Structure 1
Amino acid sequence: MSESVDQLIHARWVIPVSPADTVFEHYSVAIRAGAIVDVLAQSEARSRYRAAEVVELGEHALIPGLVNLHAHAAMNLMRGMGDDLPLMRWLQETIWPAEGKHVSPAFVRDGTLLAAREMLRGGITTCNDMYFYPEAAARAFDEAGMRAVVGIIMLDFPTPYASDADDYLRKGLRTRDQWRDAPLLGFSVAPHAPYTVSDASFERVASLAAELDLPIHIHVHETATEISDGLAAHGVRPLARLERLGLLGPNLIAVHAVHLDETDLARLAHHGCSVAHCPTSNMKLGSGIAPLSSLVQRGINIGLGTDGAASNNRLDIFQEMRHAALLAKAVNCDASVIPAHRALHMATLGGAQALGLENNIGSITPGKRADLCAVSLSGPLMQPCFDPVSHLVYVCDRDQVSHVWVDGTLRVKDGTALLRISDKELLEITTVWQTKLVN
């Protein structure tokens, strides 16, 4: 007698990510109540399960939903502002003045909705976000039906959002309390960077993260100037300072981590930290190239991030996979560095592990939530296909994403995002903000 499930997805290839280096051909995924029930051969699935909905993906690869391990979603409204400037000039001359004048709950809600639409359409089902007005971001992610970890941002200088470090934390914790029961939302403590946060504030972050069992999401070692300024101000490199203050541990997500020496690498490995590798943003801002192969050799967990659309200008994890793999090969003069399966792991299970979500998402495994992405490998541009994982990293882009599920709910169908807000409404919103931002 057949067993009842909500959905049965039949795909040409199912790439579970775990076990590693595995590709199942002509396999199916059974889903019930938003969870993966089974992964099995199509012939067996068709006889074992009776589904309320059946999806046939005859020339598709089904992969776990992609994880964007570092983003500033609301900055989609500033896409392309201040292009071709190095990081500190970009921040000081363009971004910080615009934020000081325009950032508000409405700005964050609208920009985050725009970003969520872009990410879902590109197969990203989880976003680790850091920005002002986290309550507005949480509301937007919830409205979009996207999984997100929302940062409780903290700096030591005032902004329109908060007056001081205590105010940032107080407001962020209030947001966490308001949204703590939302099934798709989690929270992190998100001190901006070593150059904007004091020792006393960092000690509070470490204590709070330990007490609430939250990830710590922080920019660190992004530029060479950050290192030299940190040495001048504190006598040690920024990672050494964070270690002294108790921040390094398995819950730390070191964003960028471009300029690392042997002692930095040893610290990250010893404490079990994760790195959010953002190759496109690092290239665009001229920040440098992270030592990806050295991180891998030391067993450091790595996820991929896009950064914000103002410094990338795409929220596209397919692009990040390709850039991560190709840059590592070029820098090391070794084509075997960061093979395609490794890049896909970073884009999925690596990001999930960094967020402490590896038991829920990141691989197509029975018992995990059904966050899934289907990628079409049909058509002349995709042929011939000898290895679907190679195609995902080196051939495909987000335009090949056909279907996306978050927690078992279809969010993209046949390349169209299924959101409560229409594209027409989003375009109207962006037109209003563009007018404001140029005046």
Structure 2
Amino acid sequence: MDDTADLLIEARWIVPVEPAGVTLEEHTVVLSGERILALLPRDEARRRHPAARTLALTEHVLFPGFVNLHAHAAMSLMRGIADDLPLMRWLQEAIWPTEGRHVSAAFVRDGTLLAAAEMLRGGTTTCNDMYFYPDAAADAFDQAGMRAVLGAVVLDFPTPYASGADDCLRKGLAARDRWRDHPRIGFTLAPHAPYTVSDDALQRVASLAAEIEVPIHIHIHETAQEIGDSLTQHGTRPLARLERLGLPGANFIGVHAVHLDATDIDLLAHHGCSVAHCPTSNMKLASGIAPVDALLKRGINVGLGTDGAASNNRLDMFTEMRHAALLAKVATLDATAVPAHTALRMATLNGAAALGMTDRIGSIEPGKLADLCAVRLGTPETLPCFDPVSHLVNVAGREHVTHVWVDGELRIEESKSLLHTSDRELLRLIAVWQTKLVT
């Protein structure tokens, strides 16, 4: 990395996330190109790099950009299309029929552009996505200048995207090959869920994931019905079935993981799995409360995800942090469960760890990519401020985000989008799709 500094970001507070529990005052993040060159006391940074450009954020807290560990970005075009339904009715009566009529590469590209704009405005710099047409999604994330990991979705039944599991894998792997050299785009293998993918397909996913060294991204133990159906059909709980097929491991990201017993938690801990906790979606679909405090105490890596905007209905990691912390406290009747620093770590470095990206993102450390977010804590509703990390989790919202960098490039400045796609164009695309979806 070039030792020449391009930009000094001086913030009132800096939360590097690693080391854990640290909040720095009167410090500076030094950028060189796309990377963090140093994290220094303010006077030392000025002395070492007198020629660098300086951005003074006198009322702000600077922290790593959020890592949204589970989303269906293109479903932003279905925001609010089917509220107040439990998961299986929501899927079978509303979402799957709508997708059957309308999902296409154009739908995914436009919906993902909308989602990327929403996420960047809210400080999310990396998204782990799971949806059809990953080529189209990659194109949209690339246009937005956002970091993304795209799931090669696998389902047994025909969809507008593919005829079945083999076709899903063929198309997903081809998309991965086309994007494999892109610095901001990565891939996972993403079997939708145990109840939509056969044993043969799941075994193939396990083998391929090991061969090409990508994570496995799958919904797991989301509802009590899922557990009961698995016991009836397979004679075992879903995670135990996946273990028999060889899926759990350090590259395994289990999404939701709401209905876990002690044996399930043992399995996740034994294999070094990660969990993508989606508290808002779990509440909205009445799926239940994931045992996050128990998972963390077992050393299981837990990140945060929004799920899709059709089941949330927003892609807002501030809300996910707050809900994760509050649900853990009320579920355990322990006010010390998931403190603010833990919630922030779940939303940043833990997500990076699940994706195998801790060498690049998730914390403010020299050598890492400059994916950063600044939040202003100088407005009446955010003052007084005694603890900026507590404020990030319990007070601030995405409306307080002022600056967002990805790879050292500003994507949001003073709350204004610097994206290649204008708000006017996004509104036009939304209007077109809304008309199509209601006719």
Cα distance in 2 for partners of 1:89, 1:202 equals 25
Counting only pairs closer than 5 Å after superposition, residues 389-428 of structure 1 correspond to structure 2 as: 389-428=389-428
CA displacement, residues 303-346 of structure 1 (integer Å, 9 cap, x when unaligned)? 00000000000100000000000011111111111000000000
Change (3 A) 1:200 1:104: same
Paired residue for 2:272? 272
Q: Aligned pair 1:301/2:312, yes or no?
A: no
CA displacement, residues 107-152 of structure 1 (integer Å, 9 cap, x when unaligned)? 0000000000000000000000000001000000000000000000
Q: TM-score, normalised by structure 2?
A: 0.99
Cα distance in 2 for partners of 1:55, 1:182 equals 29
Cα distance in 2 for partners of 1:435, 1:394 equals 38
Which secondary structure state, in structure 1, belongs to the residue aligned with residue 136 of structure 2?
Answer: helix
Cα distance in 2 for partners of 1:51, 1:206 equals 51
Paired residue for 2:312? 312
Tell me if structure 2 keeps the 8 A contact 1:13–1:27: yes
Tell me if structure 2 keeps the 8 A contact 1:4–1:50: no
Q: Aligned pair 1:243/2:243, yes or no?
A: yes
Paired residue for 1:199? 199
Tell me if structure 2 keeps the 8 A contact 1:35–1:407: yes
CA displacement, residues 203-253 of structure 1 (integer Å, 9 cap, x when unaligned)? 000000000100000000000000000010100000000000000001000
CA shift for structure 1 position 14: 0.6
Quick one: which amino acid aligns to residue 165 of structure 1?
A
Paired residue for 1:47? 47
Which secondary structure state, in structure 2, belongs to the residue aligned with residue 56 of structure 1?
Answer: strand
Paired residue for 1:284? 284
CA shift for structure 1 position 53: 2.9
C-alpha RMSD of matched pairs (Å): 0.7
Which secondary structure state, in structure 1, belongs to the residue aligned with residue 283 of structure 2?
Answer: helix
Counting only pairs closer than 5 Å after superposition, residues 51-62 of structure 1 correspond to structure 2 as: 51-62=51-62
Cα distance in 1 for partners of 2:283, 2:60 equals 31
CA shift for structure 1 position 52: 4.5
Paired residue for 1:73? 73
Tell me if structure 2 keeps the 8 A contact 1:216–1:252: yes
Q: Aligned pair 1:438/2:438, yes or no?
A: yes
Runs of 4+, deviation exceeding 6 Å: none
Which secondary structure state, in structure 1, belongs to the residue aligned with residue 392 of structure 2?
Answer: helix
Change (3 A) 1:383 1:166: same
Cα distance in 2 for partners of 1:51, 1:307 equals 44
Which secondary structure state, in structure 2, belongs to the residue aligned with residue 309 of structure 1?
Answer: coil
Paired residue for 1:10? 10
Paired residue for 1:367? 367
Tell me if structure 2 keeps the 8 A contact 1:7–1:30: yes
Cα distance in 1 for partners of 2:355, 2:337 equals 25
Structure 1 unaligned segments of length 5 or more: list them. Answer: none
Structure 2 unaligned segments of length 5 or more: list them. Answer: none
CA shift for structure 1 position 50: 3.5
Report the identity percentage.
68
Paired residue for 1:258? 258
CA shift for structure 1 position 365: 0.4
Paired residue for 1:122? 122
CA shift for structure 1 position 102: 0.2
Which secondary structure state, in structure 2, belongs to the residue aligned with residue 13 of structure 1?
Answer: strand
Quick one: which amino acid aligns to residue 201 of structure 1?
A
Paired residue for 1:103? 103
Cα distance in 1 for partners of 2:308, 2:274 equals 19
Tell me if structure 2 keeps the 8 A contact 1:35–1:408: yes
Quick one: which amino acid aligns to residue 109 of structure 1?
R
Cα distance in 1 for partners of 2:409, 2:187 equals 22
Q: Aligned pair 1:186/2:149, yes or no?
A: no
Which secondary structure state, in structure 1, belongs to the residue aligned with residue 131 of structure 2?
Answer: coil
Which secondary structure state, in structure 2, belongs to the residue aligned with residue 50 of structure 1?
Answer: coil
CA displacement, residues 166-217 of structure 1 (integer Å, 9 cap, x when unaligned)? 1100001110111111100000000000000000000000000000100000
Quick one: which amino acid aligns to residue 120 of structure 2?
L
Tell me if structure 2 keeps the 8 A contact 1:8–1:51: no
CA displacement, residues 387-427 of structure 1 (integer Å, 9 cap, x when unaligned)? 00000000011111100000101000000111111000000
Tell me if structure 2 keeps the 8 A contact 1:5–1:50: no
Which secondary structure state, in structure 1, belongs to the residue aligned with residue 319 of structure 2?
Answer: helix
Q: TM-score, normalised by structure 1?
A: 0.99
Counting only pairs closer than 5 Å after superposition, residues 318-397 of structure 1 correspond to structure 2 as: 318-397=318-397
Quick one: which amino acid aligns to residue 339 of structure 1?
P
Cα distance in 1 for partners of 2:277, 2:44 equals 40
Change (3 A) 1:406 1:236: same
Paired residue for 1:143? 143
Cα distance in 2 for partners of 1:50, 1:230 equals 63
Counting only pairs closer than 5 Å after superposition, residues 11-26 of structure 1 correspond to structure 2 as: 11-26=11-26
Cα distance in 2 for partners of 1:102, 1:419 equals 26
